[in-house]
A and B are shown apart, each in its own frame.
Chain A
């Protein structure tokens, strides 16, 4: 019954077919592998399946994030426990870049560090896009939710692969500000307490 309902919902919103084995996301038109459950670009979920809810990573339960009204409504119909949050990317985040083209090979290279200018001299590399900044995060919908496993115990540490709220994961002294997209968190019983330091990128050890 539930599967039939899912088919009805998703056939009404079916992704347009492209090449064999590929789909065009109905939300952002990104072309992606048909075997994936969600669009890797905008995270639009193609279908909710049971295997989405018991994934483990390094001993931590993985909390699934769903985005967009369609996926959230389906999850509600399935009776899943959700934490719905507003999903808007802060303007604070930015990553700078420059694109240069090798005059000999035609290869385009993306630079991310001002000091790399030294290596990509004008005599060989033509500037295609001079230093500029972009906010690398984007959400296709202001609606997002975490799916909370019903047996999740208060105090349990989990892994969230797609964090909804805005947290700075690192700042670089060249002006770049990175958004925390993946993080460990602790389920308090009412919300996920994001442990920013678990995936902060100011310092890497390993």
Chain B
């Protein structure tokens, strides 16, 4: 998985666009309610936010294909993310 910090766009390792991350509420991950190991619940909008740290490209593409509005969390220091400019 790749992310372009300037635009917050996520791509697969092969360069396929997945999603542009945008949250107008700016809720912090730590402030969300735990929902197992892979996701949390946003208390502002009650949506599930999926942690991409344990997901591969196929999982993320499938997730967004099923629900284009699905919320994702990406941390720059997680092992499976590469930064592109």
Which A residues contact B (CB, under 8 angstroms)? 58, 95, 97, 110-113, 115-116, 119, 170, 172-174, 176, 178, 184, 197-198, 201-206
Contacts and interface: CB of A to CB of B under 8 A. Distances in A.
Interface in B44-85: 49, 71-77, 82-85
Q: Enumerate the 4 nearest inter-chain pairs by beta-carbon distance, A residue then B residue, closest first.
A: A206-B21, A206-B23, A113-B82, A206-B22
B69 to A, nearest CB: 10
A178 B84 CA distance: 13
Interface in B6-52: 8, 13, 19-24, 26-29, 49
A190 B23 CA distance: 29
Given A58-B24, A170-B5, A198-B26, A203 B84 contact: no
B26 A172 contact: no
Contact of A206 (B8, B75, B76): B8
A22 B46 CA distance: 48
A202 B81 CA distance: 12
Nearest to B40: A205
Contact of B83 (A172, A184, A205): A172
B76 A170 contact: yes
Given A197-B26, A206-B22, A176 B83 contact: yes
B77 A173 contact: yes
A112 B85 contact: yes
A40 to B, nearest CB: 13
